[in-house]
Structures are given as C-alpha cells and as structure tokens.
Amino acid sequence: MKLKLSIAYDGAAYKGWQSQPFRLTVQDFLEDALRRITGDRIVVHGAGRTDTGVHALGQGAHVVVPPLFVAEEWQRVLNFNLPPTIRIMRCQLAPKGFHASHSARGKIYRYLIRNHHVILPHEADRVWMVPEKLDMELLHAAAATFVGRHDFRSFTVNRKAPAQTIRDISRITVTKKGTLIALTFHGKGFLYRMVRMLTGSMVRVAQGLDEFSTLENRLQNPVAPEWQHVAPAGGLCLIKVIY
C-alpha cells in the first residue's frame, strides 16, 4: 500500500531532508523508524530537499509499505518510533499514480526576520535577527521584482545546478507585526538555496547596502556571479506542498 504523508520537523536537529552517509537527516530517521516497524529497508520519497537547519510544517512524501495497519494507524505507529522533532501530521492512502515530487504543483515557503537587536530565546534557530533598520517600501519593491517567470541562475548555489534555471514565482507577500517580518514565497518550484538567496538580497536592499537596480541586473543577466548573501537557514520553513 502507498501512503501519502505530510511531515513537520524541527530542522535545527537535522542535516537536511535527504539521506546522507552519516545518517542524520529527516529521511534517515523516517526510514529507520520503518525498519524497526517492518524489519525491512523501505525508501521514503520526499517532495523536495530542505537544507540543514531548515524547518517544515508540511513536507510532502510518499512511501510504499506492507499492509500491516490502516493509514491512520500508520501515522500513530510512525510517530511512536520517531523523535519528537519529527511528526507525521497527516497520513492517508495515496491516490493512484501519486508521487510526492512529480505530482507537486507548487510549494509555499516562509522566511521570518526579527528586525530588532535582540530575539527571544525560543526564537533561536527560528528567525533571522536583523538589528539594522529596514526600509519596508524597498522590501516590498524588492519582493515584487522577483514575482513572475525569471531565470534565477544568479540566485542559486552551483551544486549540480540544473540546466533549466527558469522558475515561476506567483506571489511573495511581505507582512510585519511589531518587529517580526514574514516573507512568504509561492512558486511551482525553487532552486537550491534560492529562497534564502532571494531573502538575503531583499534585506540588503532594504538596509541600503545594495541598490535596487542590482536585483534587476542579476535577473536580466543571469550569467552574473552567484549572489553571495545567503540568509541563515533557521529562518526558513517549508509551509506546504501543493498537490
């Protein structure tokens, strides 16, 4: 039987989503739990990778398991065998032909910034502390620049970069409550570290450290050198995978 999963995790405890030889990733812990339950090695397929330190509220995944339990019971049994920093939030039978990655129609990421010189202890590894004053008008304008279909080659790290670096961002919302700023990115897909690099570039413009024209130039000339200002991983969270 094939299960469709929605998974939340505290990324500060793990070296990203994808399995690694040192066995400290979210996928590794999920597969270890399945091995304890079934006695077999079962591969969990995720909707996409998240980096070391990046969090998730709704990572999508699918897995083919023996029919030992109904879907709802699989959720309970898996959570019992997982650390408390990884939770199966939903578990259901997957539709015919479903694939966690190939069936995804979009993703929503949120980046949190605390625009203050001090953060609360429980915000450590959850927000990016930016003490310098940010120009909210420039932040909104920078976000609008990235909306649409663009070649984001200048906003990704060259780690097995795909031949196709054109991506569609349907919406970026910028909201502020007190000193907490949330940047929410809606798109069909994102390149490696793309959201963190877009965030870093937007913040630098809002700080007055870079000209607004710099962003436009990097979009119009995608062969420009890679953008070096990457926002910290802890502020980023995968909110939802849209199917």
Residues 178, 182, 183, 188, Cα dihedral to 10°: -150
Angle between helices 71-80 and 26-38 (to 10 degrees): 110
Selecting among 10, 28, 32, 51, the annotated active-site residue is 51
Catalytic annotation present for 168: no
Q: Where are the beta strands (DSSP E) in 154-242?
A: 166-177, 180-187, 236-242
For residues 38 and 66, the answer to whether their CB atoms sit within 8 Å is yes
**Residue 150 pairs with which residues in a beta bridge?**
167
d(CA 35, CA 72): 19
Strand residues in 115-154 grouped as ranges (E) = 128-129, 148-151
Active site residues: 51
